[in-house]
Amino acid sequence: MVFNPQYTITPKILKAISRIEIASHDIIDLPITAALLTALRESARLASTHHSTAIEGNRLTAPEVQEIIQGGGHFPNRQKDELEVRNYYRALEYAEALAGKNTPIQEQDIKILYGISFFGKQGPTPYRDAQNVIRKGRLAVYIPPKAQEVPILMTELVEWMTQALKEDLPIPFIAGLAHYQFVTIHPYYDGNGRTARLLTTLILHKYGYDLKGIYSLEEYYAKNLQGYYDVLTVGTDEDYYTGGRSAADLTGFLEYFVCGMAESFDKVCTHARTMQQEKNIDHSLVLRNLSPQQRQALKLFMASKDITAKDVGLFFQCSDRQARHLCQKWVLEGFLKISDSSFKNRKYTLNNQYEDLIQNSLTA
């Protein structure tokens, strides 16, 4: 059956879409520095990795995930969990890179995302070749489509996404409905949930809702996990064919999804704004400790990371001897550090605590 999702656009959905659009514009206008943006992106990836794998039973805590990804940490008897988070993190990076390409999303892309997230290998993974059943204990809670129909259903899903884009369906709707349908098809024996979440990320990042890569929808799912399972459970019984899942009303799922986006976007805007304000306060305190001459010297570093005494002399219109003396004095005061100690062409760079001042153009 061709994917033809049925839903009603409720006031709740409209309000959530409005919040999403406002947050998207707010983030664009926020004066986030390169350093802060990098930190926020890394935090979002780590949060997504932790929460998405935790949904499927991974036992590692958020600090442990961070240690594994950033420090190469290892934890006794957690090898499987460690591999899961490493693979998911790599798959997120791949999805973000894929989003930057000027090509439509292909079925092959989804197969590769699955391969990285589940096996850690960047290769397309074939779909399941037999029937699977999703159980809770001994109870069957969902019986997906037959294996021979999976390739057809997946092709139809990708074709629907392409057509939905042509018809200007809101991107959050496309992402949410694609997420639902992927889980419905359940094209693999295991790892379908994490792949659906990666597909969602790919769609949102590719079509203008990346929010600079600093949000985590997975966190929303993990903290509203029962709600996530409830809205995925539609139809009259557990069988794909007899339960009416293929023609179910998806309004509830769409409400859950766009409200989750809105909440995640609102949260990251507030967080980014707070961090930016804290940075600005820190910067003003640092600036107070600089002399007027040092504040002026910051302008030299807007053009180059390294400067020479000759650059200082030209900038302040003083002799080479005075410029060398000034640079030596600033090294002793901790304003500069020597980046190249060669006698004839000694170079200086800012001490670490002053680098953010350049990124913010705070040279007053």
Predicted pLDDT of residue 363 = 36
Tokens 């997906």 map to which residue?
Answer: 144
User: Right CATH number for 291-359 from 1.10.10.10, 3.30.420.40, 3.60.130.10, 3.30.70.1150?
Assistant: 1.10.10.10
- Whether residue 313 contacts residue 70, with contact meaning beta carbons closer than 8 Å, is answered with no
- Torsions phi, psi for 319 (to 5 deg): -70, 160
CATH superfamily label, 11-18+34-258: Fido-like domain (1.10.3290.10)
Task: State residue 304 phi and psi, 5-degree precision.
Answer: -150, 145
Q: Does the pLDDT value for residue 103 go beyond 80?
A: yes
How many angstroms separate the CA atoms of 261 and 129, rounded?
Answer: 34
The partner residues of 6 in beta bridges, in order of sequence, read 249
pLDDT computed for residue 296 by the predictor: 85
CB-based contact 312:323 (threshold 8 Å) = yes
Backbone angles phi, psi at 140, to 5 degrees: -75, 120
Q: What share of the chain is helix, strand, coil (3-state, %, to 5)?
A: 65, 5, 30
Domain-by-domain residue ranges, the chain? 11-18+34-258, 291-359
Provide, rounded to the nearest whole percent, the portion of the chain with pLDDT above 90.
Answer: 47
> In the predicted model, is pLDDT for residue 104 greater than 80?
yes
Integer Cα distance of 143 and 152 in angstroms: 17
Largest Cα–Cα distance in the chain? 89
Gap between the Cα atoms of 149 and 105, Å rounded = 21
Say if CB 122 and CB 112 are below 8 A apart: yes
For residues 197 and 92, what is the distance between their CA atoms, to the nearest angstrom?
10
What is the enclosing helix (H) or strand (E) of 201? helix 192-206
**Residue recorded with tokens 């990124």:** 359
Tokens of 329: 């004095």
Confidence of residue 256 (pLDDT cuts 50, 70, 90): very high
Are the beta carbons of 203 and 174 closer than 8 angstroms? yes
Q: What is the mean pLDDT of residues 251-280?
A: 82
CB 185 within 8 A of CB 150: yes
Residue 222: pLDDT over 50:
yes
Element (H, E) at 193: helix 192-206
β-bridge pairing 347-350 and 307-308: antiparallel
**pLDDT digits 0-9 by tens, 1-59:** 578 898 999 999 999 999 999 988 888 777 666 667 777 788 889 999 999 999 989 99
- DSSP SS3 for 233: coil
**Interval 292-327: pLDDT, tens:** 888 888 888 877 788 899 999 988 899 989 999 998
Tokens for 217, please give them.
Answer: 């929808």
pTM for the full predicted model: 0.75
